Amino acid sequence: MSDGLYLGRQVDPASGDLGDRLDLDPADLLTHGLIVGMTGSGKTGLAIVLLEELLGQGVPVLAIDPKGDLGNLLLLFEDLDAASFEPWIDAEAARRDGKDVATAARDTAARWKEGLGEWGLGSDAIGRLKKIHDAVIFTPGSEAGVPLNVLQSLDAPAVPFDSAEEDLRDEIGGIVAGLLGLLRIDADPLQSREAIFLSNLIEDGWRAGRGFGLEGLIAAVADPPFDKLGALPVETVFPRKDREGLMLALNNLLAAPSFASWREGEPLDVDRLLRTPDGRPRLSVVYTAHLRDEERMFVTALLLDKVKTWMRRQGGTSELRALVYMDEVFGYFPPHPGNPPTKRPLLTLLKQARAQGVGVVLATQNPVDLDYKGLANMGAWMVGTLQTEQDRDRLDDGLARAGLEKASVDLLLDATRKRVFLLHDIHRPAPCLLHSRWALSYLRGPLTRDEITRLMEGKTETAAPEEAAAPSGPPVLPPPFENLYLSRHGSQRADLHLLVKHAARYKGGGETVGVSAWPLEGTTAAEALEVEPFEVAEDAVGTDPPPGLRYGALPEWLASDAERAIEKALRQRLPDKLGVTVLVDPVTGERSEPGETPEAFVERLRTGGGGKAAETLRTRLEKKKAMLAERREEVEGRRQEKWFAIGKAVLRMTGLGGRRRSASGVDAVLTKDRLEDKAEARLAAARGQVAELEQQLNDIVEIDPRRLQEETLSPARGGVKVLRQDLVWVY
């Protein structure tokens, strides 16, 4: 068994055939790595395989997850059975594939077992990986996963300020930039007086061993412990009447119900993020997909600064001590002149973290979005199919600077496809093609906050026993809303949802009445309606909470005229969300009712005798049958006329009857024969028409479900009514 990271197999660029197993030395990641590829290239799958291998070898991973894909690393199903996969199957995707959830789960379990087997892996490998490491999804600003106490970063550092002055000033800069970003205030560290003032305020406290709560920071803004900023008095640079705006903004942040979760949960302690108390390696996924851009930037910059400070305190090593992975780095590490607060700590880590055994791997779709200085510090490149020529040129330039010939690079890039990457590792003799192996984790796709809650059930209580032991009562909702409750997962933590009972009348006919719940994600009511809802049984909604329930934060927008905001969002967005898929029978033209099951639709068609199309056919068939009877009578008449003509002709030919022989009788026979032939042809045509109509009628009445087609109906204009709107705590 190799000690390397089993990423997959080499690929012959000419034939595309798989070759030898490819293992990457973990120490190669001390020179950092880059994973690049357009959507659909398999970039996320390769990243998850890489992280699985690192965790399996005892290397802790801190993963920053702005998209929500990395929670898939927790979907490790050792039994590889349908029951394990079923709770994570996308019901809508299964429906589009013509399957129910149970069938899709069986198929997925079989596919995962087969896929792993093709790469020499199985349930034993999953079991070993689960046993060797711990995994936590942290959700700053939310209680969906394990909350992360971001504002605890205002606490004084554990080391003397002078011993790490540069790093601690960087941390202060990240905290101040993040706070001001949340307040929508310019945070330029050289131009913004708010940024300069707050930075001096925090540094003064930290030098004295004194930290800040947000309340203490507000008080210090009002009455700072120093008289000068630089060479000028504080009152000249930033008068008190001007500071009141900053005080009020900070106080509004403190008072906002949605901000409470930023001050709760696990401390932002890198040692605890990387290892459990018993020393096992930990996968810490810091999930930021639910945050606004400025919040996401705040958390990411603060986290990277904390890693940088922690890294400086570590002794030197030639082994990989820990890995920092960031999925989709677009916007966090831009080329010049972009300078977000995340760029400085990232550059420092890329340039200096190697000596302390810390590796950094970044992933992106577009290499042109990355700072070229950062690219120069990356020793392992995994390049999948690229989106544009500009992306390819940037990679060509970077690889050329690494000493690779453009022709050989182009040959390998041309051979990339889904799950096939160009691997350039400065520790390997030459670049090659890599086909990534099958992931042990179920690649479910981005996880929602509800799904993260299910994964982290029990972890939250372990991480923050104080909160679990003393749950608070429900928050006060803005009028006219009252607290309602709905059990969905049986959790001890509840998140607020918008409950809507709606009636819809559709353009093609039919009506529906339904009750749906939307998680209150996003920064506005309209954004909340962009999330997929789930159906609710109205009688399951109650007014009594279960004992010990903990409550998620209220969205900030609820504080301002929530009822009107919800009414406006429902008026604008709800009709687009109530499109329904119905079935159409192309033979009869009949359409199922909204909400009618395929089985019920087929039965209705059968018992209804085929609908209007069948009635039309029956009418035509009766007419054709009447015509057929006429044609039969016609043929019979022509046949009798012919035999009568034959008899007369025979009499004339024999001279019987006293007449002279003549050929006129034969002519009459031939004429009658032709008339009979024409009548029989018309009879045969009538029989064919009757048979064809009978077959058509049989096809309509005997319904083959495979012929049914799907059609999407939109509500008619003005056809949507809101019958009820409430807020409900779902747990």
Q: CA distances (Å), 618 to each of 446, 608, 683, 694, 707, in order?
A: 54, 13, 20, 8, 22
Percent of the chain with pLDDT over 70: 89
- Looking at residue 473, what is its pLDDT? 62
d(CA 343, CA 185): 19
- Looking at residue 359, what is its pLDDT? 96
- Looking at residue 470, what is its pLDDT? 39
Q: Considering only 126-135, 204-213, 247-256, 275-284, which range has the smallest mean pLDDT? A: 247-256
d(CA 37, CA 631): 74
98-114 pLDDT, tens digit per residue, is: 899 999 999 999 999 99
359-368 pLDDT, tens digit per residue, is: 999 999 887 7
Residue 403: is its pLDDT beyond 50?
A: yes
Average pLDDT of 533-540?
92
pLDDT confidence of 728, banded at 50, 70, 90?
A: very high
d(CA 221, CA 250): 10
Q: Which residue in 723, 712, 727 sits closest to 574, CA to CA?
A: 723
Instruction: Report the SS3 class of residue 399.
Output: helix
Prediction pTM value: 0.64
pLDDT confidence of 458, banded at 50, 70, 90?
A: confident
473-511 pLDDT, tens digit per residue, is: 677 777 788 899 999 877 778 889 999 999 999 876 788
Instruction: List residues bridging with 284 in a β-sheet.
Output: 62, 136
Instruction: Report the SS3 class of residue 383.
Output: strand
- Looking at residue 469, what is its pLDDT? 36
Taken in order 21, 22, 24, 25, is the CA torsion positive or negative? positive
d(CA 632, CA 89): 64
- Looking at residue 164, what is its pLDDT? 83
- Looking at residue 212, what is its pLDDT? 81
CB 581 within 8 A of CB 524: no
- How many angstroms separate the first and last alpha carbons of the chain? 46
- Looking at residue 654, what is its pLDDT? 67
Residue bearing the bigger pLDDT, 118 or 678: 118
Average pLDDT, the chain: 84
pLDDT confidence of 465, banded at 50, 70, 90?
A: very low
- Looking at residue 673, what is its pLDDT? 67
Average pLDDT of 535-552?
88
Q: Considering only 65-74, 264-273, 697-706, 709-718, which range has the smallest mean pLDDT? A: 697-706
d(CA 433, CA 439): 18
d(CA 260, CA 289): 19
pLDDT confidence of 273, banded at 50, 70, 90?
A: very high
- Looking at residue 423, what is its pLDDT? 95
Q: Annotate 450-493 with DSSP letters as a single string.
A: HHHHHHTTTHHHHH-HHHHHS---PPPPPTT---EEE-SS--SE
d(CA 451, CA 432): 38
Q: Considering only 180-194, 289-303, 427-441, 456-470, which range has the smallest mean pLDDT? A: 456-470
Strands, E, within 102-205: which ranges? 134-138, 148-149
pLDDT confidence of 655, banded at 50, 70, 90?
A: low
CB 297 within 8 A of CB 181: yes
d(CA 34, CA 220): 43
H or E stretch at 503: strand 493-506
Q: Considering only 45-54, 184-193, 296-305, which range has the smallest mean pLDDT? A: 184-193
pLDDT confidence of 471, banded at 50, 70, 90?
A: very low
Average pLDDT of 299-305?
90
Residue 401: is its pLDDT beyond 70?
A: no
- Looking at residue 468, what is its pLDDT? 36
Cis before 337 (ω within 30): yes
CB 44 within 8 A of CB 327: yes
- Looking at residue 1, what is its pLDDT? 39
Residue bearing the bigger pLDDT, 204 or 390: 204
Q: Which residue in 229, 341, 321 sits closest to 274, CA to CA?
A: 321
Average pLDDT of 293-310?
89
Number of neighbouring beta carbons within 10 Å of residue 545 = 17
Q: Annotate 240-254 with DSSP letters as a single string.
A: HHHHHHHHHHHHHHH
Q: CA distances (Å), 158 to each of 210, 262, 298, 313, 333, in order?
A: 11, 21, 22, 12, 29
